[in-house]
Amino acid sequence: MKFLELVNKRYSARSYKADKVEKEKIDYILECARRAPSAVNFQPWHFLIIRNEENRNKIQQCYAREWFKTAPVYIVVCADKSAAWTRQSDGKSHADIDAAIAAEHICLAAADAGLGSCWVCNFDTVKLAHDFQLPAEIYPVAIIPIGYVDEQPQTHSSRKAIEEIATFL
């Protein structure tokens, strides 16, 4: 598949079938996340793969949307602030940036494996960190629900034109 085809195949899926996602597909997705680039190659990330009923119920309480409950699997992308590179010139931690790149690798890998996914950041981060007992230095960046989509294939929402977002100098 050409890269642009894969990019266009991924969209924010918000309805999933109950069908289980095969372990090999989860492994493939995690391998793609693991291969993501990171500042100074510090790889300051950790992934929670949430599949069992008890933990699915717990995470669903961190983002109370009906569609969110339909996902059979969730990957919580966490960043480790103690492991991330900090830029000396302005003190900026790159933990969020690194975690975001890994998260998008997850979404693209899911699309490549015939699965739907969706970035979710509008969740209760404090509740999630508490309920899943995250260590103090690790914080959740995004929840990515994953599963076989139960809807008509969609396209992306609209995008700004290149002329609007790029400056050729």
Nearest approach in angstroms of CB 58 to ligand FMN is 17
Cα torsion 58, 124, 7, 99 to 10°: value is: -100
Distances in Å between the alpha carbon of 121 and those of 41, 78, 124?
24, 11, 9
Could you say whether residue 156 binds ligand FMN (CB under 6 A)?
yes
Binding test (CB under 6 A) with ligand FMN, winner from 18, 40, 121, 126 = 121
Task: Give the nearest distance from C-beta 53 to ligand FMN in angstroms.
Answer: 23
In the numeric block, which tokens belong to residue 62? Answer: 């961190």
In the complex with ligand FMN, the residue whose CB is nearer, 13 or 26, is: 13
Question: Do 146 and 116 meet the contact criterion of CB atoms below 8 Å apart?
Answer: yes
Q: Strand, coil or helix: what is 51?
A: coil
Structure token digits, residue 92:
């900026």
Please state the closest distance from residue 79 (CB atom) to ligand FMN, in A: 13
- Among 28, 42, 85, 119, indicate the residue that binds ligand FMN (CB under 6 A): 119
Binding interface with ligand FMN (CB under 6 A)? 11-12, 118-122, 156-157
